[in-house]
Structure 1
Amino acid sequence: MDQAEPERRSPSTRLLRPFLRLFAAPRVNMREDYEKVRRLQRLAALPAVPRFRALDRTLVSRTSGESIPVRVFEPRERRRDDVLVFFHGGGWVTGDIESYSPACTTMADLTGCVVASVDYRLAPEHPFPAGLEDCLDVAATLLDEPRRVGAEHPDRIVLVGDSAGANLAAVVSLLRRERGLPGPSRQILLYPVAHWDHDPRTSPFPSVRNHGDDYRLTNTEVQDYFDLYVPDPELRRSPLVAPLLAEDLTGQPRTLLITAELDLLRDEGEAYGGALERSGNDVRVHRVPGALHGFIALPRFSRSLREAYEVINAFLDEGSSGSATAPRATRDPGAS
């Protein structure tokens, strides 16, 4: 969508808008209540965790020497050799392998892939770059030793993340290229955080102004997350926090970037997809109509979830053949 144009909403979206507001997140002061939110997320996830299909592993960080928990989920039926290395969302502050276990179980079943969920360190106890370092360490280990999670070759390792986790996946790919190291062949970025400014008065993105008050994620909540993750405002302009600001985006993995129509992060995510495309990367951008931020955690009967996995499975079906820098981009009409 051209950022200079007014946003165009479908008639169905306009009619659904009052109903969708019912699903807005409760207004909390994340800077004070993040521990309470973490506890509630874990409690909500407990009834849906199929423990018999998950195996807990531990990797030792090459940077900090700390242990990094990784939970490996087996699908009911394995249909692909790929292993999806998943970095969860939660604004770098909330979320963990417990609260995301239901979503990872769904991901494993609907893709037929093994999913390895990474329990990276969270802010404010461990601010930037601690969580990023953990994700880098796990990616390095699994790209060097893919059989540790059941992959036969590094090309079978696919980085996946949602929201802040998608930000981490994108930055891991950028840093692997910058350091001259082989990166993943593919990455799937779900409604990523790609920019640092989410103030409706100054943001360059219409979705920040149009969807920052009513729905699942708010401008205030994003600002709270940044305050906790990157306390120094100047550091927030680093490409390691805001990958859209990276000067060199060449040599990135084949990328599927999925956004949600009613998400304040929508436009910056699509802008990142466009920037990757202009740098000669193989990119597909897909916008899920009527979707809210965080839809990857919805029940399996959700229309938004089903549509996203149709696109994800089509992307995975293309395999890992071809160069990660081949300029073959596909852009869905809804994301134009």
Structure 2
Amino acid sequence: MEPTAAPSSPRSAAVNPLFRAVLGLFAAPRLNLREDYPKVRRVQQVLAAVRGPRYRTAYREAMASTEHGDIPVRVFQPRRKRRDDVLLFFHGGGWVTGDIESYTPACATMAELTGCVVASVDYRLAPEHRFPAGLQDCFDVTRRLLQDPQRAGVQDAGQIVLVGDSAGGNLAATVSLMLRERGLPVAGRQILLYPVTHWDHDPQTSPFASVRHHGEDYRLTNSEVQDYFELYVPEPQDRRNPLVAPLMATDLSGQPASLVITAELDLLCDEGEEYGRALRAAGNEVRVHRVDGALHGFIALPRFSRSLREAYEVINDFLDEVPA
């Protein structure tokens, strides 16, 4: 399914120069991730070590045993459990960086703000473990829990909700595709936060306006996404595989009820929304919500962030209104 060119958002196009300059203060340092990804990981480990102790009472360690080996899972308990759902979370980081340590604050916040148990999967990372290794880990854990939901502490597989941000949103979407393709039960719902759904992020050739408008200024750049793809899927022709770029799937039927949340000032905004439209066109129940003024990666912001609060209002409405 090759997407058509997406129109520019009038609001995005109207970002004034002063606001753009202020947002530039939040830009990530420009890196050659093909060479610098070990440095990024080390910085994440240092930050996690500094922040980690305050969250230790919120989680316990677990291990998912699969046919491909044992996969670490960190389970977060909310202080006040308000729902029986378990959110099975796949972290972002371009399939190359990020882990359960660096995402511990975000997962603890997710548990508190949803009142759900959150299970964060520590899947293998590229380039040491290229596609489909990380995807296989996420698939194996999901399949195991869907086949035996009591392992997740729920009675029904429909109470397991797949959640992922950025590359993790990509993994959640592609796990759902794999389950359907193999004739296995899919999760009841999935929440895709600013997901990667397409393979082309070159501003000269991408069909999406957000790639051209927001690929150089803010938290994530075109070149960084391309670097991540080169590390995750080295052969360019393989990046069109629907299990890498789910927008390329020719059949999106039979997918979970889906919530797609995008960030207005994110180069991935248009492709995430296009995936939501494609899921809806295939007969699935879909909600798409764009957080205005938000940058890529906002799920990791402090709780007082407007973008974070808005996203969780939408997530909680989705969990309440869409039956398992």
SS at match of 1:23: coil
Q: Say yes or no: does 1:40 pair with 2:43.
A: yes
Give me the whole-angstrom Cα distance separating, in 1, the residues matched to 2:143 and 2:226.
30
Structure 2 residue corresponding to 1:227, chosen from 227, 230, 233: 230
Equivalent position of 1:57 in the other structure: 62
Equivalent position of 2:315 in the other structure: 312
- Residues 248-267 of structure 1 mapped to structure 2, 5 A cutoff: 248-267=251-270
Q: Does the 8 Å CA contact 1:13/1:290 hold for their aligned counterparts?
A: no
Q: Does the 8 Å CA contact 1:72/1:149 hold for their aligned counterparts?
A: no
- Pick closer, same or farther for the CA change 1:261–1:144 going to 2, 3 Å: same
Consecutive unaligned residues in structure 2, runs of 5 or more: none
Give me the whole-angstrom Cα distance separating, in 1, the residues matched to 2:65 and 2:8.
49
SS at match of 1:203: coil
Give me the whole-angstrom Cα distance separating, in 2, the residues matched to 1:135 and 1:6.
34
SS at match of 1:240: coil
Between Structure 1 and Structure 2, how many residues are aligned? Answer: 318
Q: Note the C-alpha offset of 1:164.
A: 0.3
Q: Note the C-alpha offset of 1:12.
A: 8.4
Equivalent position of 2:11 in the other structure: 9
SS at match of 2:46: helix
Consecutive unaligned residues in structure 1, runs of 5 or more: 322-336
Q: Note the C-alpha offset of 1:6.
A: 3.9
- RMSD of aligned Cα (Å): 1.4
Give me the whole-angstrom Cα distance separating, in 2, the residues matched to 1:95 and 1:314.
28
Q: Does the 8 Å CA contact 2:12/2:264 hold for their aligned counterparts?
A: no
Equivalent position of 2:110 in the other structure: 107
Give me the whole-angstrom Cα distance separating, in 2, the residues matched to 1:177 and 1:20.
41
Equivalent position of 1:325 in the other structure: none
Q: Does the 8 Å CA contact 2:90/2:138 hold for their aligned counterparts?
A: yes
Moved more, 309-318 or 12-21: 12-21
Q: Note the C-alpha offset of 1:52.
A: 1.5
- Normalising by structure 2, we get a TM-score of 0.95
Deviation string, structure 1 residues 116-160 (Cα, Å, up to 9, x no partner): 000000000000000000000000111122222322211110000
Equivalent position of 1:74 in the other structure: 77
Structure 2 residue corresponding to 1:274, chosen from 264, 277, 280: 277
Q: Note the C-alpha offset of 1:16.
A: 2.1
Q: Does the 8 Å CA contact 1:146/1:152 hold for their aligned counterparts?
A: yes
Give me the whole-angstrom Cα distance separating, in 2, the residues matched to 1:19 and 1:206.
22
Equivalent position of 2:143 in the other structure: 140
Q: Does the 8 Å CA contact 2:12/2:265 hold for their aligned counterparts?
A: no
